[in-house]
Chain A
Amino acid sequence: MPCSELADRSIDTWEILRHDMTRQLGTARDFMDDTRSATLSSAGALIEAVGNGSHDALKRLYELESRRLYGIALRIVRRPEVAADVVQDAFIQVWENAKSFERERGAGGAWLTGIVRFRALDAVRKLGREALSDDSTLGDEALAPEMVERLDAQAEAWALKRCLGLLDDQQRRCVILAFVDGFSHAEIAERLAAPLGSVKSWVRRGLIALRSCLENHDSRR
């Protein structure tokens, strides 16, 4: 079923009210972000300063972002010493590549997240999931039904939250297990006790539906 049809069915007055309120909140937040970057405390501004060779800016970036980034790495690799290596390598990469950071491509936070996630996924590929964790509850958190509800109410998250809500359960679980837990197709298949082929097609169809919903949302903003 096309995303727009689903959207029409699910939007009621309450949703529209909530949307407007969230949007206003988002605008206020964007304004605050802009003000903060003027004092070099936004990730984007700090990354640019790192690109100009400032050790100090890298240290401040670490102070600002290390808890968040270590949390992302730990969730994927599970072992604290490996997560520490991932964050260490990521900050060296930030130091060496900050010059190529293009601000228009996205906020600094998303850029840092991308670097840490890719390094964490590399670590999983190198060391193997079995070597990292024998926890049989791995991925349970991502499967909890209220997971999507936990996305906070900022403007960017609101669109994703709403669009994820329109996917079917399996498609949504695939996207979350891949992004948040760093699971491969095969790991998702094992976790959901589903054939690999089904998982691949859930991901594909989920992404296609997600894209059309998000683009719809973008064009309405």
Chain B
Amino acid sequence: MIPEDSAERHALAGEYVLGLLDAAETREIAAVLATDPELRKAVAFWEKHLHPLAALATPTEPPADLWDRIAARLDGAPPRRAPRWWNRPAPWRWATGGITAVAAALLLYIALLPVSPSYVALLHAPQQEQVAWVATVNRDVLTIHTVAAANPPPDRAFELWAIAPGSTLPQALGVIPKDGVLRVRALPSDVRLGATLAISVEPPGGSPTKRPTGPIMFVGGLTTM
């Protein structure tokens, strides 16, 4: 929960920048930042003032082939990395802490698709562990579906938003149909790795403004498999 008290909020922003919040809290802040200029200012304050501390880490020569690996990915090649994802300690467990069996199965299914998606996001209610939505991004198409039969309140609809990393402005991706599946074609180019997805409660046709007007119900970050 984001505290009301100004000093507390500022300290929370500091903890966010220090990296002391857990993954779910971090995503919650990232989503709230989109609509909260005061918190945004507090985060910018800490980013700016704490940055000199980064100089305490000794600059080190990266592996010689690192640029080539990056350049290859710019051309659309899949990431090349030392340990493959299935060798890592159960990726679906670290992703959210406590993922449902349904979502785990879904992720496994996604991983085994002939064309594996570039990015995946697991969305859940702030402060809760149970995954409610799974989103995948393939080239410039995003698909999101509910894995927990999440329904909006009566006479309301769920609307999907994206916040690019480093940005604080949510972009509307569309109102999610009643069947709980939304496909977004021509995804904005900055909605990729590290972006936050959020679902808010809106009037049936979607937010009347360009910003979320109702509460944020689910958040998740786009990450590689």
* Complex Cα–Cα for A180 and B190 (A): 28
A100 in contact (CB, < 8 A): yes
* Complex Cα–Cα for A210 and B49 (A): 10
A87 in contact (CB, < 8 A): yes
* Complex Cα–Cα for A82 and B74 (A): 20
* Complex Cα–Cα for A92 and B83 (A): 18
Instruction: Give the chain B neighbours of A91 by CB distance below 8 A.
Output: 70
A207 in contact (CB, < 8 A): yes
Residue of A nearest to B8 (CB): A204
B36 in contact (CB, < 8 A): no
A59 in contact (CB, < 8 A): yes
B19 in contact (CB, < 8 A): yes
**B interface bracket (residues with beta carbon within 8 Å of A):** 35 or more
Instruction: Give the chain B neighbours of A102 by CB distance below 8 A.
Output: 166-167
**A interface bracket (residues with beta carbon within 8 Å of B):** 35 or more
Asked if B55 and A87 make an inter-chain contact with CB atoms under 8 angstroms apart, the answer reads: no
Given contacts A62-B70, A97-B167, A179-B54, is CB(A184)–CB(B62) below 8 Å?
no
**Nearest-CB distance from A58 to chain B (Å)?**
7
From residue 199 to 225 of chain B, which have CB atoms closer than 8 A to chain A? 223-224
* Complex Cα–Cα for A152 and B70 (A): 31
Instruction: Give the chain B neighbours of A221 by CB distance below 8 A.
Output: none
Asked if A88 and B166 make an inter-chain contact with CB atoms under 8 angstroms apart, the answer reads: no
Convert B46-87 into 0s and 1s, putting 1 for each residue whose CB lies closer than 8 angstroms to a CB of A: 011111111111111111001101110110000101110000
B197 in contact (CB, < 8 A): no
Convert A34-77 into 0s and 1s, putting 1 for each residue whose CB lies closer than 8 angstroms to a CB of B: 00000000000000000000010011001000111011101110
Given contacts A75-B58, A131-B89, A178-B20, is CB(A92)–CB(B73) below 8 Å?
yes
**Contact among A59, A117, A125 for B67, CB-based, below 8 A:** A59
Instruction: Give the chain A neighbours of B55 by CB distance below 8 A.
Output: 150-152, 157
**Nearest-CB distance from B93 to chain A (Å)?**
9
Counting chain A CB atoms within 10 Å of each CB, the highest count among B45, B165, B195, B224 belongs to B165
Instruction: Give the chain A neighbours of B74 by CB distance below 8 A.
Output: 55, 58, 92, 95
From residue 82 to 132 of chain A, which have CB atoms closer than 8 A to chain B? 82-85, 87-89, 91-93, 95-97, 99-102, 105-107, 109-111, 113-115, 117-119, 121-122, 125-128, 131
Given contacts A68-B59, A126-B88, is CB(A185)–CB(B66) below 8 Å?
no
List chain B positions with a Cβ less than 8 A from chain A. Answer: 7, 10-11, 14-15, 17-20, 22-23, 26, 44-45, 47-63, 66-67, 69-71, 73-74, 79, 81-83, 88-89, 91, 94-95, 164-167, 189-190, 192-195, 223-224
List chain A positions with a Cβ less than 8 A from chain B. Answer: 55, 58-59, 62, 66-68, 70-72, 74-76, 80-85, 87-89, 91-93, 95-97, 99-102, 105-107, 109-111, 113-115, 117-119, 121-122, 125-128, 131, 142, 147, 150-152, 154, 156-157, 159-161, 175-176, 178-180, 182, 184-185, 203-204, 207-208, 210-211, 214
Q: A84-B69, A106-B47, A179-B53 are in contact. List 8 more A-B contacts (CB 8 A).
A: A62-B70, A93-B165, A110-B51, A118-B194, A151-B56, A156-B51, A176-B56, A207-B11
